[in-house]
Amino acid sequence: DTAVSQTPKYLVTQMGNDKSIKCEQNLGHDTMYWYKQDSKKFLKIMFSYNNKELIINETVPNRFSPKSPDKAHLNLHINSLELGDSAVYFCASSQPGRGEGYTFGSGTRLTVV
């Protein structure tokens, strides 16, 4: 029954590895997002897709590559992981114009060692 689900919840990996985080929403929303929350709890947007089309691509290293196979799914692949990539990554979805705000997933805590 979960509205926005992301997997895995925890990810511990070594520097230099490649990893992926998956996100799915069952709300029928057209727009999905990836946000990064750093150790100071600041939430900062990384990417947004509207109906499978990339519409926001913030200043993010090109080691990060989002993919949206359909409007219910948005994945994030990270190449050559670095220590500074350690953070909590949140997926979210929204239906623009409804004023309901985003619905967030529960987050993926990525730790790079």
Q: Which stretch binds other proteins (CB under 8 A): 14-22, 47-55, 69-77, 79-87?
A: 47-55
Question: Is residue 64 a contact residue for other proteins (CB under 8 A)?
Answer: no
Instruction: Sort strands 19-25 and 4-7 into parallel, antiparallel or unpaired.
Output: antiparallel
Question: Is residue 5 a contact residue for other proteins (CB under 8 A)?
Answer: no
| Burial label, 57 (beta-carbon count in 10 A; 0-12, 13-18, 19+) | middle
Question: Is residue 92 a contact residue for other proteins (CB under 8 A)?
Answer: yes
In the three-class reduction of DSSP (H, G, I as helix; E, B as strand; rest coil), residue 39 is classed as coil
Question: Is residue 74 a contact residue for other proteins (CB under 8 A)?
Answer: no
Q: Which tokens is 62 given?
A: 């090109």
Secondary structure tally for the chain: helices H, strands E? 0, 11
Question: Is residue 69 a contact residue for other proteins (CB under 8 A)?
Answer: no
Instruction: Provide the binding-site residues for other proteins, judged by CB under 8 A.
Output: 4, 31, 40-45, 48, 50, 55-56, 90, 92, 94, 96, 99-107
